Amino acid sequence: MRIVVLTKPVPDPASGQDRLGPDHRVDRAAAPAVLNGNDEYALEAALRLVESHGGEITLLAMAPATAPETLRKGLAMGAHRAVLVTDPALAGSDIRSTVGVLAAALAGLEFDLVLAGIDTSDGFAGVVPAALATLLGLPLLSNAAAIEPDPAAGRVRVRRIIQGGYDVLEAPLPALVSCTQALGAPRYPSLKGIMAARSKEVAVRSLADLGPTRWPVGGAAAATAVVAVDPPPARGATRTIRASAVEAAREIADFLAARRLLP
Amino acid sequence: MVAASVPSGYELTEEQRLLRDTVRALADERIAPRAAEIDRTGEFPWDVKALLAEHDLLGLGIPAEYGGVGVDLLSVCLAIEQVSRVCATSGLIIAVQELAAAPIVLAGSDEQRRRWLPDLAAGRQLVAFALTEPEAGSDAAAVRTRAVRDGDEYVIEGTKRFITHGSIADLIVVFAVTDPEAERHRRLSAFVVERERPGFRVARLEHKMGIRGSPTAELVFDGVRIPAANRLGPEGDGFAIAMRTFERSRPGIAAQAVGIAQGALEVAAAYARTRRQFGRPIGEFQMVAALLADMDAATEAARQLLYRACTVIERGGPDAARWAAIAKLVAGDAAMRVTTDAVQVLGGYGYVDEYPVERMMRDAKITQLYEGTQQIQRLVVARALLGRE
């Protein structure tokens, strides 16, 4: 199995920094970058597939030139290599441009499966997997809770989460799967994994290396723009209840009941 | 940002940052929830030991050719710091494995390393370091335990005290007198004793103020016979092996101290942000804010000193013992002060076990005592300064 995992470096959601710049775009210098959380679930799924079926995992990212350090964590978890598409001209690209670039990068890779997290914690659009599958003409198996490939038969079966249950989908390989957290929590890199990651390749590709992309890239070519940003309303005064579990539960219930928030 | 002007080599490497962040996540998610219970029950956390082994954290400093990870001293200290930040007992598991494996790494033959290090690196076995005796604490050369040569064997006779992991270790590195007539620093030799050897027994366990999940044992060697092949290095090298080990183990204790201080600082800062008195968070009162700022400054100063010491010691050279002693001295005192002030910030809540800072204060005290008391560290520094051996 040759698996490509789409991995996006995103501002660390735990850093507490204001992540949007004055232009309403994510300020990638404001907070340290980490691997997008849902992409780590996709990578974990890929690692388990390779452990049971054999094969190799390539991380694919479109990100600023500082991304190799972030990708190193994925390599330490067990991915075999990484491909980073980085180019100053990509700054400000919208989703459409991003999909075009990722499609061009995937065209240069050999794979049976492409795994992607269902969305990213910086953009939250959640449309890249579907758009990419469409552009590449790949079957899309979305919202996966389980992935069962049959490489000999050249097929993959996926349990797809729907309201109230699962669909079971099957498609020929190669295919693109968008991964949910139901696939299982990502592992911590082992220390030996961290040391081994040093010698793994992070291939850096510029736009010129990729060749033509489907749509123009960069901020000037963006078809969408963020025109306003509203922060969530400030949290009101909080109250901490310190008591035994039973007493605390009773106090919370009383509190809610007094405000007619309990049925 | 002035990143471009920072001299190369001063920042942590990409690998060291990844190691630190990985161990921090592991500690926060898997070890922190256990810390209070480990302290309350005083039971060695075998589950944490298994977790550390699973993530290669018990073989950090052991060379890769013997199954370890083979990272530098600073990386070892980063791991100890991050685990100690949430649980000093758990951080000590890493530190002791490093400390007690060091004589084998430093003085063992290739055959000896192949025999013992792979099991230690994988965490299948634990190892303890047995130098201290009832009458030989700070005066380490005053060891009385004897090792008498008998053909192809040595017979070991004596008592060791305050031996961390002494009751649970599979291997004990024992320092014993092989030549009572030799000059003070040539009397000792180092031996590896397997715990199943007849005549070895655990005489008692201490009840301690802190690091309560870490068993501290009195060990009796009653005519324990071991093969001569278990001796590390030549006869008479024991004291030198112990001192070289301390150059690498004292930074580990400094790392434990920095971790404890950081843990207490974080709890105190979070409390000061949310605890309201007189209508506002107590962190807005200058007296509390100043306490917190001083705690942060002391912790960061100790941390940066430790990191610097690690790189100097890794490079080797005559100044290593001084750097190790300074790092432990400053970090141990910082941990004691910062944890004491953390209790102060939390007031009455800090004094009860509802919050972890009272545990951290008790745990901090040991960092001023073991691996050489603060007074011994000053002695080492003063000797280096005044040029007297």
Which has more pLDDT, B285 or B2? B285
pLDDT at B9 (0 to 100): 59
Distance from CA of B274 to the nearest CA of A (A): 9
Out of A61-75, A165-179, A222-236, B63-77, least confident range: A222-236
Q: Kindly write down the DSSP assignment for every residue of B33-45, as one continuous string.
A: HHHHHHHHH----
pLDDT of residue B373: 96
Q: What ipTM describes this predicted complex?
A: 0.72
| Distance of alpha carbon A50 from alpha carbon A59, whole angstroms | 14
Whether the CB of B56 is below 8 Å from some CB of chain A: the reply is yes
* A72 phi, psi to nearest 5 deg: -60, -35
Task: Give the SS3 label for residue A76.
Answer: helix
Correct CATH for A2-221 of 3.40.50.300, 3.40.50.620, 3.40.640.10, 3.30.70.2740: 3.40.50.620
Q: A188 vs B25: CB contact, 8 Å cut-off?
A: yes
Catalytic: which of B54, B206, B371, B389?
B371
* Chain B residues close to A192, C-beta within 8 Å: 56, 69
Residue B1 pLDDT level (bands cut at 50, 70, 90): very low
Rounded to an integer, the average pLDDT of A224-233 is 82
Query: Closest approach of chain A CAs to the CA of B266, in angstroms?
Result: 15
Q: What average pLDDT does this structure show over B29-51?
A: 97
Known catalytic membership, residue B371: yes
Closest of B129, B199, B198, B120 to residue B161, by C-alpha: B129
**Which B residues in the span 3-32 are in contact with A, Cβ-Cβ below 8 Å?**
14-15, 17-19, 21-22, 25-26
A→B contacts (Cβ < 8 Å), by residue, are 69, 72-73, 76, 188-192, 194-195, 197-198, 238, 240, 242
Neighbours of A190 (CB within 10 A): 18
* Tokens at A133, concatenated: 């599958």
Residues of B in contact with A238 (CB under 8 A): 274
For chain A, percent of residues with pLDDT exceeding 90: 68
B4 to chain A nearest CA, in Å?
Answer: 14
Q: Categorize the per-residue pLDDT at B5 as very low, low, confident or very high, splitting at 50, 70 and 90.
A: very low
* Structure token digits, residue A77: 């978890």
pTM: 0.86
Give the whole-angstrom CA distance, residue B87 versus residue B214.
11
Give the residue from B272, B338, B252, B329 showing the smallest Cα distance to B300. B338
At B6-33, the pLDDT tens digits run: 444 578 998 999 999 999 999 999 999 9
Per-residue tokens: A193: 């994994």
